[in-house]
């Protein structure tokens, strides 16, 4: 079977999603997991866009060896030079140059003629080629450009040395049949098309990103650009897990394969959701909480008799743990370690010890500790290891008569202990006011939600918040059996992200 190259852009286009800012350590952790997942190419960032992005791409290029590491750049000399500086330490570096191709972009945004754009595309690919053999070019907004002009660009950039030409549906406008025709047309009308890999990059504005990507591979595209959980600019990008599982589950139809270790999909999805703060909708294909749940009696009856009656994929193929074993306060280190391994976590000894302490504390409060609790507590531990400000103590008084009051103690980045108290309209507001007095970073809280990780009165509560500062949004998460504590942790998590982003931006 022929193989489809999986190009993951979670760390670049995925991070462009509003509120999806990741810090450098978080990016590295996701990149390591993408490598484990078997992604062929990791688009690690856009180095000229900020010093933080440059640093993240350089670090990932040095640390991740099995996947190609790609840096995105505009079609201009400085961007290309900076992209090379960032990826040059990689085992398999790639530079990805993009330039608009539709008349609507050329006339209103670039104010350049088609011939000028064609010339720049050619020149900039040639410039990137001086640094590295693996050069990708994308004619942005290709799905709204004139196909004949796309053919001219594809031919020119392949002549200039592009090894991959990516056809983006930048605004998610394409319809599968029409987009498939565009791809087929390239093979029919571009004489040198066979000398490069033809790739696709689809956005989900009409909910067609995966359908457009799959239609393209049927028509000869051999690289697909996608993100974990489909996150990305606006409505997002094509979702990696949906494309990979469609190709695998319907190999009878596609007769294609990928390098992806599908058993790592669930874990990667959880990690990206935790780090970005973007929850996965329950009915999301492949990785949603309900994707393998059967509620109706007739379906449950069928599943018990023969799982294939209503299940086209075995949940274990995507790494959803099969064990229903629950741990409790008598479970020891060994049982906890085994459970973590089954859930796909390979923690260092130090991280394991911290997670085990947190598990014991939880088991004291909660009779049964489930897989979802463990995932939540490991995520909480991971969040707190990279933080600048750390919540040390919290005390709140509230009720229907008194004035909500919070006293907060934080450990500052330099180890100093800071304490203050404040009043608020409710307990959460009082906590946030007290934290604001200590941290002093102006921001506006735009979203706040609480959900329980499992059923039951003793469940862990997970708080997700979004704050805004200088027009940029930052998400924060916190988990605890006490939702007031979880709210404080979520706010500190969001502030830590905000501060890290400001520091990285210089």
Task: By CB under 5 A, name the binding residues for Zn ion.
Answer: 13
In the complex, the smallest distance separating the C-beta of residue 142 from ligand KIV, rounded to whole angstroms, is 8
Q: Which two tokens stand for residue 204?
A: 């989900």
DSSP letter string, 358-410: HHHHHHHH-S-B-HHHHHHHHHHHHHHHT-SSEEEEEEEE--SSSPPEEEEEE
Three-state DSSP class for residue 259: coil
Strands 5-8 and 2-3, bridge-based pairing: unpaired
Q: Which two tokens stand for residue 276?
A: 């970005």
Distance linking the first and last C-alpha atoms of the chain: 48
Nearer to ligand KIV, 138 or 276 (CB): 138
Nearer to Zn ion, 70 or 388 (CB): 70
- Of 5, 8, 10, 13, the residue at the interface with ligand KIV (CB under 6 A) is 13
Specify the DSSP element, H or E, that contains 125.
helix 114-131
Closest among 277, 269, 270, 229 to 494, alpha carbons compared: 277
199 binds ligand KIV (CB under 6 A): no
- Length of the chain equals 506
- Asked if residue 205 lies in contact with residue 171, where contact means CB atoms within 8 angstroms, the answer is yes
102 binds ligand KIV (CB under 6 A): no
100 binds ligand KIV (CB under 6 A): no
Residues numbered 201-220 forming contacts with ligand KIV, rule: CB under 6 A: 201, 203
In the complex, the smallest distance separating the C-beta of residue 53 from ligand KIV, rounded to whole angstroms, is 14
Angle of helix 114-131 relative to helix 147-159, nearest 10 degrees?
A: 30
137 binds ligand KIV (CB under 6 A): no
140 binds ligand KIV (CB under 6 A): yes
Q: Which two tokens stand for residue 320?
A: 């959803």
98 binds ligand KIV (CB under 6 A): yes
DSSP state, residue 107: I
In the complex, the smallest distance separating the C-beta of residue 497 from Zn ion, rounded to whole angstroms, is 23
Nearer to ligand KIV, 143 or 264 (CB): 143
Q: How far apart are CA 231 and CA 271, in angstroms?
A: 13
Q: Of ligand KIV, Zn ion, none, which one does residue 138 interact with (CB within 5 to 8 Å by kind)?
A: ligand KIV
Q: How many CB atoms lie under 10 A from the CB of residue 284?
A: 18
User: How many residues of this chain interact with ligand KIV, rule: CB under 6 A?
Assistant: 9
In the complex, the smallest distance separating the C-beta of residue 203 from Zn ion, rounded to whole angstroms, is 6
Nearer to ligand KIV, 76 or 452 (CB): 76
- Asked if residue 404 lies in contact with residue 424, where contact means CB atoms within 8 angstroms, the answer is yes
- Asked if residue 39 lies in contact with residue 11, where contact means CB atoms within 8 angstroms, the answer is no
- Of 14, 20, 79, 168, the residue at the interface with ligand KIV (CB under 6 A) is 168
Nearer to ligand KIV, 166 or 269 (CB): 166
Nearer to Zn ion, 272 or 358 (CB): 272
In the complex, the smallest distance separating the C-beta of residue 12 from ligand KIV, rounded to whole angstroms, is 8
Nearer to Zn ion, 9 or 376 (CB): 9
From 163-171, 325-333, 372-380, 457-465, give the range in contact with ligand KIV by CB under 6 A: 163-171
Residues that bind ligand KIV (CB under 6 A): 13, 98, 138, 140, 166, 168, 170, 201, 203
């Amino acid at each position: 079977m022929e193989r489809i190259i999986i190009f993951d852009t979670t760390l670049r286009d995925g991070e462009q999603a509003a509120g999806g800012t990741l810090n450098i350590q978080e990016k590295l952790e996701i990149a390591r997991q993408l490598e484990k997942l078997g992604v062929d190419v990791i688009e690690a960032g856009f180095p000229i866009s900020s010093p933080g992005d440059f640093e993240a791409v350089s670090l990932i290029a040095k640390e991740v060896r099995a996947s190609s590491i790609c840096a995105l750049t505009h079609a201009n000399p400085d961007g290309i030079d900076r992209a090379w500086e960032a990826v040059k330490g990689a085992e398999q570096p790639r530079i990805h140059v993009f330039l608009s191709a539709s008349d609507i972009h050329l006339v209103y945004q670039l104010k350049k003629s088609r011939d000028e754009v064609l010339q720049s595309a050619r020149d900039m690919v040639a410039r990137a080629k001086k640094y590295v053999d693996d050069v990708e070019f994308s004619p942005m907004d290709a799905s709204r450009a004139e196909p004949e002009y796309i053919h001219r660009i594809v031919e020119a950039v392949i002549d200039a040395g592009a090894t991959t030409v990516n056809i983006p549906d930048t605004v998610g406008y394409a319809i599968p049949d029409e987009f498939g025709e565009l791809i087929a047309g390239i093979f029919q009308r571009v004489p040198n098309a066979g000398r490069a890999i033809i790739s696709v990059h689809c956005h989900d504005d009409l909910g067609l990103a995966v359908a457009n990507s799959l239609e393209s591979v049927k028509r000869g595209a051999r690289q697909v650009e996608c993100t974990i959980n489909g996150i990305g600019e606006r409505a997002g990008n094509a979702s990696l897990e949906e494309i990979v599982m469609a190709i695998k589950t319907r190999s009878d139809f596609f007769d294609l394969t990928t390098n992806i270790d599908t058993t790592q999909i669930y874990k990667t999805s959880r990690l990206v959701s935790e780090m970005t703060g973007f929850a996965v909708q329950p009915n999301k294909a492949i990785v949603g909480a309900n994707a393998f749940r059967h509620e109706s009696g007739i379906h449950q009856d069928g599943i018990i008799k023969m799982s294939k009656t209503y299940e086209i994929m075995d949940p274990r193929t995507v790494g959803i743990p099969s064990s229903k074993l629950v741990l409790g306060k008598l479970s020891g280190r060994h049982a906890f370690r085994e459970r973590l391994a089954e859930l796909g976590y390979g923690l260092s000894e130090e991280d394991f010890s911290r997670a085990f302490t947190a598990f014991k504390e939880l088991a004291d409060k909660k009779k049964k500790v489930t897989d979802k609790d463990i995932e939540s507590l490991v995520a909480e531990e991971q969040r707190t290891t990279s933080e600048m400000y750390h919540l040390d103590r919290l005390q709140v008084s509230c009720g229907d008569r008194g004035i909500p009051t919070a006293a907060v103690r934080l450990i500052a980045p330099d180890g100093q202990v800071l304490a203050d108290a404040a009043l608020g309209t409710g307990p959460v507001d009082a906590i946030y006011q007290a934290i604001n007095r200590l941290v002093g970073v102006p921001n506006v809280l735009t979203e706040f939600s609480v959900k329980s990780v499992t059923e039951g009165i003793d469940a862990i509560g997970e708080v997700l918040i979004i704050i805004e500062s200088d027009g940029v949004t930052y998400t924060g998460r916190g988990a605890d059996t006490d939702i007031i504590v979880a709210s404080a942790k979520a706010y500190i998590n969001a502030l830590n992200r905000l501060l890290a982003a400001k520091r990285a931006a210089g």
